[in-house]
Amino acid sequence: MSDAPVNSKPTRDQAEAAVRTLLSWAGDDPSREGLIDTPKRVVKAYEEWFAGYLMDPSEYLKRTFEEVEGYDEMIVLRDIPYESHCEHHLAPIIGKAHIGYLPNGRVVGISKLARVLEAYAKRLQVQEKMTSQIAHVIQEVLQPLGVGVVIEGSHECMTTRGVHKRGVGMITSTLLGQFRDDPHTRAEFLQFVGVDRR
């Protein structure tokens, strides 16, 4: 099942008109000099911010390597920066992710793990869902012995509006296979990524 929107995509002109409507609703004049090109800039920014809808995360994981001399220990990529947007307020979510897995005979290039994160982050998101999506696609495609994903995020929807609480960080995790079932593997992964849950 795809996470992409099911409705037909509006044209660029329609998107720019929507931005002009929002500018007017906010109380400004979209035809004044400082705002005249803002609708074009916003639509271009949306293309970049939400490029994940055009990406297939599973494709990044299909090319694997088996010539790893029998390597069967944990592989962890930590402190991967990401930028996303809250699906409730369109406000930024800024943070870092830690992704690990226990290979089952084959490994994937480490940049591909970062690309999987990017594909999901560049969509309208909630952090809990993104964490689960990343872990499950790695499990489904690579079929490793276990997967661990920990994501840290700062949510501007609660720092610039609403409760206005700055400096708050949210941590979510999804642990599958041995990362969930084996306390030693779980503890080793959380130690690697600097999350002490004991």
Distance separating alpha carbons of residues 160 and 164, to the nearest angstrom: 6
* DSSP letter, residue 9: P
Cα-Cα-Cα-Cα dihedral sign, residues 157, 163, 165, 168: negative
| Catalytic residue (choose from 59, 88, 128, 191) | 88
On whether 86 is known to bind a ligand per the annotation, the reply is: yes
On whether 136 is known to bind a ligand per the annotation, the reply is: no
Catalytic site includes residue 83: no
Catalytic site includes residue 164: no
Catalytic site includes residue 14: no
| Catalytic residue (choose from 118, 133, 139, 155) | 155
| Nearest-10 crossing angle of helices 110-121, 127-142 | 140
| Catalytic residue (choose from 89, 143, 156, 188) | 89
Catalytic site includes residue 86: yes
What are the start-end ranges of the E strands in the chain? 64-65, 75-86, 92-102, 107-108, 124-125, 146-155, 170-177
Asked whether the beta carbons of 30 and 24 are under 8 A apart, the reply is yes
| Catalytic residue (choose from 125, 127, 133, 178) | 127
On whether 164 is known to bind a ligand per the annotation, the reply is: no
Catalytic site includes residue 67: no
| Catalytic residue (choose from 16, 85, 86, 133) | 86
| Catalytic residue (choose from 83, 87, 156, 188) | 87
Q: Which residues are annotated as a binding site for Zn(2+)?
A: 86, 89, 157
Q: Which residues are annotated as a binding site?
A: 86, 89, 157
Residues annotated as catalytic are: 86-89, 127, 155, 157
